[in-house]
Homo-oligomer: A and B are copies of this chain.
Amino acid sequence: MPELRKDPVSSRWVIISTERGRRPSDFGTERERERVGFCPFCPGNEDKTPPEVLAYRPNGSGPNAPGWNLRVVPNKFAALQIEGDLNRQGDGMYDKMNGIGAHEVVIETPEHGDTFASMGEQRIEDVLWAFHDRVLDLRKDPRFKYILIFKNAGRAAGASLEHPHSQLIATPIIPKRVREEWDGAKEYYNYKERCVFCDIVRQEMSQEIRLISENDSFVALAPYASRFPFETWILPKAHDPFFEDAQKHEYVQLSKLLRDVSLRTEKVLLNPPYNLIIHNSPLRESDTRHFHWHIELMPKLTHVAGFEWGSGFYINPTPPEEAAKYLRDAKV
């Protein structure tokens, strides 16, 4: 059983895999493992993943067989375990609980070589619906306080498999950065009586200097205090705390903008590894009106890592105004 442990100084919860501990020699062989060539996510290999919890099969094929457009399966190497009690307890001065949670993989397409730029809008929309459907199901479990939705694309961004996929992790705690953003937005709301994200959308759309792309429902921009070169946020123009409360036409618009931004990024940065994270409201907070869900997209262009981790102090060598201009001007 994995453990959730709390750092007594920062109050950060960390998942410690106590069962399949990686030994020193495991780290060196990582590079080789990716070259094996066999893909458990490709059609025909459905028996190499745990049984699907959701699939979109337009032609009505049976479960765990080819014929799908998208599958959602439990992660075979899950960071958290679905069965059991939290069993919160002390460990001397420390605090821990069982690593209870859900860890699922969204296999986004049967095409091994697809990207958000090469997929059609319909496939990206399917991915958004899969997030939506799984959140609705997972949030029923009263043990969970948050559902992280994210995508690591490319080895340098932490992806262990090449086949396009994203992940959901339902957790019994609220991750630290989510909590910080939540508290920061609440503080702004209490002071200004306005949503900070609505204010960002308003200023960026009027100034246009950090604007990357937009459509009726969404705007893509380079955030004012970008931590990384070409960091991109995608925000709904209308205020809404929850990703899963978006309407059908909004998912259509979002899939269009995600494709557009991916095409621009691929063009300007030559298909970089990246991380995409949906920042959504926690599941069980009574007051949510100060929060505005959005997507953060971080191309992985620099090695600068541990120093920023350790200090929380970021040095960004590319002004967001320049990054936005490159992406805005890209011919797509």
Interface residues of A (CB under 8 A from B): 5-18, 20-24, 27-28, 30, 79, 91-94, 148, 150, 152, 155-158, 169, 171, 175-181, 184-185, 188, 196-197, 199-200, 203, 207, 223-227, 229-230, 268-270, 272, 274-275, 277, 279, 296, 298, 300-320, 322, 326
Contacts and interface: CB of A to CB of B under 8 A. Distances in A.
B184 A9 contact: yes
Contacts of A196: 8-9, 93
A8 B203 CA distance: 12
A28 B156 CA distance: 14
Contacts of A9: 181, 184-185, 188, 196-197
Contacts of A175: 311-313
Given A200-B8, A305-B158, A17 B312 contact: no
A305 B300 contact: yes
Contact of A5 (B94, B224, B229): B224
A196 B176 CA distance: 19
Copies, count: 2
Contacts of A93: 196, 199-200, 203
A12 B207 contact: no
20 contacts: A5-B224, A8-B184, A9-B185, A9-B196, A10-B181, A12-B314, A13-B313, A14-B227, A22-B317, A27-B301, A92-B203, A92-B207, A93-B199, A157-B307, A177-B312, A179-B312, A275-B305, A275-B310, A305-B305, A308-B309
Contacts of A319: 16-18, 21
Point out which of A152, A223, A316 has the most chain B C-beta atoms below 10 A from its C-beta. Answer: A316
A15 B157 contact: no
Contacts of A92: 203, 207
A269 B309 contact: no
B277 A311 contact: yes
Given A9-B185, A21-B318, 20 more contacts: A5-B225, A6-B225, A7-B224, A10-B180, A10-B184, A12-B227, A12-B312, A17-B318, A21-B322, A22-B318, A27-B272, A27-B302, A30-B302, A79-B315, A93-B203, A150-B307, A158-B302, A176-B311, A176-B313, A177-B313
